[in-house]
Structure 1
Amino acid sequence: MWTIGLYVVALIVVAITTHWTYKWRNPKCCRGKLPPGSMGFPLVGETIQFFVPSNSLDIPPFVKNRTKKYGPIFKTSLAGRPVVVSTDADFNHFILQQEGKLVELWYMDSFGKLLGQSGPGDESSATSTGEIYKNLKKSVGDCLGPEILKQLIPELCNMADQTLASWSEQHSLEVKHECAKMTLNFTSRHLFGYDPEKSGVNLSEMFASITQGLMSFPLNIPGTAFHRCMQMRNKIFKIIRDSIEERRRASPDSRRGDFLGRLMDDMESRSLLTDEIITYAIFALLLATYETIPSTLTVAIMLLGEHPLVVQELMNENDKIIEERRNAATSLTWKEYKSMTLTMQVLNETLRISSSAAGILRKTTKDIQLNGYIIPEGWTIFILPSAIHLNPDLYQNPLSFNPWRWKDSGVTAGAKSFIPFGGGQRSCSGSEFSKVFMATFLHVLVTKYSWKKVKGGEIARSPTLSFGNGYYIRVSKKTK
């Protein structure tokens, strides 16, 4: 009797599991037909397959294979959530214009916890919508607008020269790590007046732990990557909060006109912001800076090292700028920066190929109709920039490094097919700063220094960009 009972229980468990698995893999929508695709295994979905890295700059195999099978828009399940992945430039452009109408900002759980987002509609963090976000974006624009950038260029040139001079004294260096340290040191000084070098703090190592934790399960217990991630976040929060208190103790006349200063002035005049929101905002900007600029510069140096003809043309353009100055010792000017045609083409091509941002996430607030299909309310839409930037229908030989493709690219460089800084009202306010930063660095690099690969260069995309065991170079100062 016990044996028969066990068989019956086993059959019931199998039947329930089979039924549950079938329902998971074949979700129904009473309001219409869902996009094609697979939901994978219960709870796990296709998360593991999604994060399997490919040793290439190409579109991740997970997306490439499913696009071939299902088309440019398909459904899946990631970390237990129903997701629609889009590689369609027109649909992506449409979605990025619909924030506050059909979609809202959404982050995966680990990122939401990191930035203090407790749930939908939460306005306590730097990711919030509405007046707080508009105010923050305006402040970023004011601090990183053209007039401010014109004043920053000489400082950027000096920073690049000092950094490269220190690199030239080393036998070899890992590019991504050193670029991250340079970028974070500069941006932290100009965002909230903090100098990591004087304080003896290595922000790049702290942010490296944070990014590792972001790609892990958000389990905040000792010993996990996410726990270390949150520990590092809290340390950086303390640094920012201490800076806020220091400013508050200073007289209003002695406050700096940087990002922190502007936010504190706004907090006193309108009482819209809080210390918590300002802390999250500065942290979010530092996090964005840590990942995008260093990764793009690393890919640029790698690609340029493989294309000596491009380096020669880049040197010709930048050497000519110096030759045409009345005083060759003066720094790069805004007018000269705007004249750097090939340099900008190199940056556009690097941004296109690298596509360092993993993706753009939005959550539907209403049902969305699409070519006979429906994306239900509450589902996540995952926009993958690399799938657009490396699409052979949009870019000929997309994996080929060809800066000259941008020479007459009025259509290609449009908002639909080139989105390295996002789009819509959430497009990156610091995009011009990023371009000025990288162009200035390349200007100093090719006019005053040379470099040679030492080892490394293995790239993986999963869909974030990583550099294996690193990319090492040796830098030398040019002799006159």
Structure 2
Amino acid sequence: MFKSSLAFAASRLFFAKKQPENVPPGSMGWPFIGETLMFLKPHKSNSIGTFLQDHFTRYGKVFKSHLFGSPTIVSADCDLNSFVLQNEEKLFKCSYPKAVHEILGKSSMLLVEGDVHKRLRNVALCFTSTCKSSPKYFFDVDKLIRATMASWKNSKEVILNKELTLDLMVKQILELEPEHPSASRILENFLTFMKGFISLPIYLPGTSYTKAVKARERICSTVKSILEERKVGLRDEKIDYLDVILSNESLIDEERVSTVLDLLLAGYDTTSVLIQTVVYFLGQSPKVLEHLKEEHQEIRKRKDTDPLNLEDYEQMEFTQNVIQEALRCGNIVKFVHRRALKDVYYKGYFIPSGWKVLPIATAVHLDPAKKRRKPLHLLVED
């Protein structure tokens, strides 16, 4: 008991010596693990959780802690968060935990920095522009949604799962139909990958994290095989996204595979969660749902039997408001990892060089005292 107390006291002294003066108030928590476990404690997506609520009440909107193995500044201040994100690569850099590097790979767009990040980001943005300019994309979306809804026809209960968006992404990126064997393998491995992505990073046989790392390797192997097959018959005309990335000579094969994996991850995770969130909120908001239907039906009347295109979707102003409000209320991305490249002073806050910074989007979105600059239609009725 005495040894444990001595070790705890020594650790607290270690933290105290390393902490510069004038940093925001807060608590560094337990030795080594800090307050990470309490910070990651599950909570409802329409709340900030008890940990943040208690700390904001005690210390204010900006406080210090020890999270993910590093001394950390946690911020719910909208201006400070914007300042951090707007000074990427100048004052702050992306700084995800080592375990995330292991599971995403060293060429992931979430982890690379500087010119490499800009280059991969531009390649990924080509996917968006390719889809927007392709009538086939909108046809594929319509076809997939109709087929999915048709399968619900005689069901008493509908389960809105994530496979829908992954099927669409696999089709658009890799030109594979959902029933193709390679598409089935990708889906199976992605289910394993995502379970481990949000698990404790323990690399031991049988753990979810280890299974996820292995699943990523299998996905990469499948994608690489598809890319190799396409290389043989690479077309001069850039018809789809695979043509685009294969013709980009600035990319090595590892970066091509990693870019595809990043896009699949985005389609499987964030986009599918947004769809689920919109459906959930609309189920509680009959007036909003009716307004949404009226907007869609009006555009549909003007199109007669012609398929919808990008211009039609851009006219759906109320629909865009619904999506934005669902993003705010649902808080799909709750925070991001950044690290200070140098000592930073901002609005009286001191952020020491090398400290991690966590801008908490959830806390800003759900702050009842914060007035939004552009009022949106409330998705959840009072």
Q: TM-score, normalised by structure 2?
A: 0.90
Q: 1:144 Cα deviation (Å)? A: 0.9
1:307 is the counterpart of 2:285: yes
Rate the CA distance shift 1:125–1:156 in 2: closer, same or farther, 3 A: closer
In the alignment, what sits opposite 1:40? 29
Distance 2:228 2:154 in 1: 39
CA RMSD of aligned residues (A): 2.5
Structure 2 counterparts to residues 375-454 of structure 1, below 5 A? 375-395=351-371, 402-403=378-379
In the alignment, what sits opposite 1:240? 223
- Contact residue 174 and residue 226 of structure 2 kept, 8 A: yes
Rate the CA distance shift 1:39–1:133 in 2: closer, same or farther, 3 A: same
Choose which of 20, 26, 32 in structure 1 pairs with 2:10.
20
Q: 1:194 Cα deviation (Å)? A: 3.2
Choose which of 263, 270, 274 in structure 2 pairs with 1:292.
270
SS at 2:222 equivalent: helix
In the alignment, what sits opposite 2:99? 110
Choose which of 213, 221, 230 in structure 1 pairs with 2:213.
230
Distance 1:33 1:273 in 2: 45
Rate the CA distance shift 1:258–1:20 in 2: closer, same or farther, 3 A: farther
In the alignment, what sits opposite 1:260? 242
User: Which amino acid counterpart does residue 132 of structure 1 have in structure 2?
Assistant: V
- Contact residue 26 and residue 39 of structure 1 kept, 8 A: no
- Contact residue 8 and residue 31 of structure 2 kept, 8 A: no
Q: 1:174 Cα deviation (Å)? A: 2.0
Gaps of 5+ in 1: 1-9, 118-123, 406-480
Q: Deviations over 1:20-60 (max 9, x none)?
A: 23225535444x42221111100111112112222452122
User: Which amino acid counterpart does residue 258 of structure 2 have in structure 1?
Assistant: Y
1:191 is the counterpart of 2:169: no
SS at 2:180 equivalent: helix
Structure 2 counterparts to residues 167-178 of structure 1, below 5 A? 167-175=152-160, 177=161
1:336 is the counterpart of 2:312: yes
Gaps of 5+ in 2: none
Percent of paired sites with the same residue = 27
User: Which amino acid counterpart does residue 181 of structure 1 have in structure 2?
Assistant: E
- Contact residue 186 and residue 222 of structure 2 kept, 8 A: no
User: Which amino acid counterpart does residue 311 of structure 2 have in structure 1?
Assistant: K
Choose which of 147, 156, 163 in structure 2 pairs with 1:181.
163
- Contact residue 130 and residue 240 of structure 2 kept, 8 A: no
More displaced 10-residue stretch of structure 1: 218-227 or 368-377: 368-377
Distance 2:141 2:4 in 1: 65
Q: 1:15 Cα deviation (Å)? A: 6.6
Rate the CA distance shift 1:158–1:339 in 2: closer, same or farther, 3 A: same
1:166 is the counterpart of 2:144: no
Q: 1:378 Cα deviation (Å)? A: 1.6
In the alignment, what sits opposite 1:442? none
In the alignment, what sits opposite 2:299? 321
Q: Deviations over 1:117-151 (max 9, x none)?
A: 3xxxxxx4433223332222222223312873562
Q: Deviations over 1:80-134 (max 9, x none)?
A: 22221111111111111111111111112221111223xxxxxx44332233322
Distance 1:146 1:251 in 2: 17
Distance 2:188 2:65 in 1: 34
Distance 1:393 1:369 in 2: 25
- Contact residue 83 and residue 381 of structure 1 kept, 8 A: yes
Equivalenced residue count is 375
Q: 1:209 Cα deviation (Å)? A: 2.6
SS at 1:83 equivalent: strand
In the alignment, what sits opposite 2:322? 346
